[in-house]
Chain A
Amino acid sequence: MKKKSFDTIKLGLFVLSALTLLIIALYVLGKNKTFFGNRFELKSQFRDVNGLLTGNNVRFSGIDVGSVLGIKILNDTVIEVTMNLNRNMKGFIRSNSIASIGTDGLIGNRVVNIEPAGGDFPFVNGGETLPSKEEVRTDEMLRTLYNTNKNVAKISEEVLNTMKLINNSSELTSLLNDKTLSQNLRISLQNLRNTTENASLMMKNAVSTLKLASEGKGALATVLTDTTLSADLKLAVGQIRTLENSADRLVNDLNQMVTSVEKDINQGNGSVNALLRDSIMANQMRASIKNVEKGTAAFAQDMEAAKSNFLFRGYFKKQEKEAAKAKKTAEMKAKQ
């Protein structure tokens, strides 16, 4: 109880300071926003915040200028991120600056990057919604890389197979090892060059010839410009026409001849008719045919005699049997 008042003041200060501290702490926790007064809010909307948490840093052109205050789902495709920024950034961030979600390093914390987009837009005043941009995501990057790797592996495998085929191909090897090939190729090329040279020379000549012709010089010009040539041609055509007329006449003569022969035959005049209608000649021919018939009958008799001869009998009997057999089979087939 000694120094009581003095003790009480110290004790009061002690307790009050702790109480103040506690109250401030609880107040800050409750508000958790602009307690320190030198901050302002900006918003941005994303499709995917990619693991962003409240408290993650916000960067403007790479400088830490604040932190993420809240992440709210507006609907299934829009997520609103509220950022708390230093008040002194108000004079730097324009309202068209683009917010994107990135990573601090390759595997570090998520950060919101605000990048100036240029242009003479007004500076932010707090509460604006900045346009957003989807950043390249590491997992997407790795997925693409995985596909690329797979393709590269496939391609290298195919290249390897091709190389193997090339290495194992004896034709290709012999072709590659053939030393005469290059020589032949060189000769061929030489020939080709000569040919083209000749061709160009020819063309040159042709050009000069045509030039001469157009100037009225040379043989071609003579052909093209000579007036006597056309007269000759005209004459030749006239002669051809005369020849045609005489041919016509010849055909007419032949017609007349055939008509007169026909007439002779019908009227019994002339040698042709004699050949066709002479009865004596016909009798003579009939007698000749009779003689031939007699001759063949005698030959048939001789053949019969030959059949009965023991030398040929076997052969003829065999022939008869075969004939009988053939007949029988023909009957059978007919019955069926």
Chain B
Amino acid sequence: MLILPNDLKSFIRETGEIFRFILRFFREGFRPRYEVAEFIRQCYVIGYKSLPLVALTAFIIGIVLTMQLRPTMVSYGVDVQIPAMVGVAIVREIGPILTALIFAGKIGSSIGAELGSMKVTEQIDAMEVSGTNPFKYLVVTRTLAAMLMLPVLVVLADGIALFGSFLGVNIYESLTFNLFFKKVFDNLIYIDVIPAFIKTFFFGFAVGIIGCFKGYYSEKGTEGVGLSANSSVVVSSVLIFIIDLVAVQIAELFQH
């Protein structure tokens, strides 16, 4: 056994456990029976219920980003390029990462807390006894729902943020809606949109799987529920940034 600090040892152990959890997700997720009804319900809870929060943050960030950029752009005499710049910023980075972080805060913690409380109240064990596969019913549905709903949220958030930016531009000058979106889309190319869209699946997967993992292996009673909710948010947020880093490098490879 390697002589390592306990923290590091536990970190490595947890990484291994998460990896095993992920493998189990793929093993069980693609094998019948499929919990379709629960999956749809989770989509509603995870996706639709998150929309107001995501929409509000996206709208605000659209206006704020535009207003923050404006003085610098004006001083360079390129204020006409604000839509283009905001468009690239929102579609490539701010939309996905902001939505994913909000999503991690809202969904990661709720999954962690829900599964954690089910674990400590031994509902999961009861499920196993009653013949229902708790992993399929709880983990696969939630993770899949998170994985598929986050891209949907990101697309909507991008649109809302761009609308916010359009309003932000119109505070100072009058620019038609059509021209604004023309300017935005004139500057966007597939390589801006596609990688940004693809990486959101990974963000959603990370949030779902970490929330489920933390809840599924929750310990120490009610205290453990809070701990799993907390750590699922922290870990998934960090993972989102790591995935983002990897994604931007892969996208860069395709760009050249």
Contacts and interface: CB of A to CB of B under 8 A. Distances in A.
23 contacts: A1-B37, A1-B41, A4-B41, A10-B44, A11-B48, A14-B47, A14-B51, A15-B43, A15-B47, A15-B152, A19-B152, A22-B197, A26-B193, A29-B188, A29-B193, A35-B185, A36-B178, A36-B182, A57-B80, A67-B183, A67-B186, A108-B78, A109-B80
A21 interface: yes
B156 interface: yes
A36 B84 CA distance: 17
Interface string A1-21: 100100110110011011101
B254 interface: no
A10 to B, nearest CB: 5
B40 interface: yes
Contacts of B80: 57, 64, 104, 109
Contacts of B51: 14
A22 B178 CA distance: 17
Contacts, number: 84
B156 A25 contact: no
Contact of A107 (B41, B43, B77): B77
Contacts of A245: none
A25 B193 contact: yes
B208 interface: no
B55 to A, nearest CB: 11
Given A7-B44, A21-B155, A25-B158, 11 more contacts: A7-B40, A10-B44, A15-B152, A25-B155, A25-B185, A32-B185, A32-B186, A36-B178, A84-B182, A104-B77, A108-B78
Closest 9 CB pairs of A and B: A18-B152, A108-B77, A18-B155, A7-B44, A55-B186, A11-B44, A14-B48, A28-B185, A22-B155
Given A21-B156, A55-B186, A109 B44 contact: no
Contacts of B41: 1, 4, 7
Contact of A8 (B44, B78, B156, B189): B44
Interface of B: 37, 40-41, 43-44, 47-48, 51, 76-78, 80-81, 84, 151-153, 155-156, 158-159, 178, 181-183, 185-190, 193, 197
Interface in A35-57: 35-36, 38, 54-55, 57
A11 to B, nearest CB: 5
A105 interface: yes
A16 to B, nearest CB: 9
A38 B181 CA distance: 13
A271 to B, nearest CB: 134
A21 B185 contact: no
Contacts of B44: 7-8, 10-11
Given A29-B189, A57-B80, A67-B183, A8 B48 contact: no
Contacts of A4: 37, 40-41
Contacts of A14: 47-48, 51, 152, 156
Nearest to B37: A1
A274 B104 CA distance: 172
A62 B159 CA distance: 32
Nearest to A103: B77
Contacts of B78: 108-109
A134 B78 CA distance: 23
A107 B75 CA distance: 12
Contacts of B188: 25, 29
Contacts of A84: 182
Contacts of B182: 36, 67, 84
Contacts of A108: 76-78
Given A1-B41, A28-B185, A29-B188, A17 B77 contact: no
Nearest to B160: A21
A14 B157 CA distance: 12
A138 B167 CA distance: 36
Contacts of A104: 77, 80
A40 B193 CA distance: 26
Contacts of A67: 182-183, 186
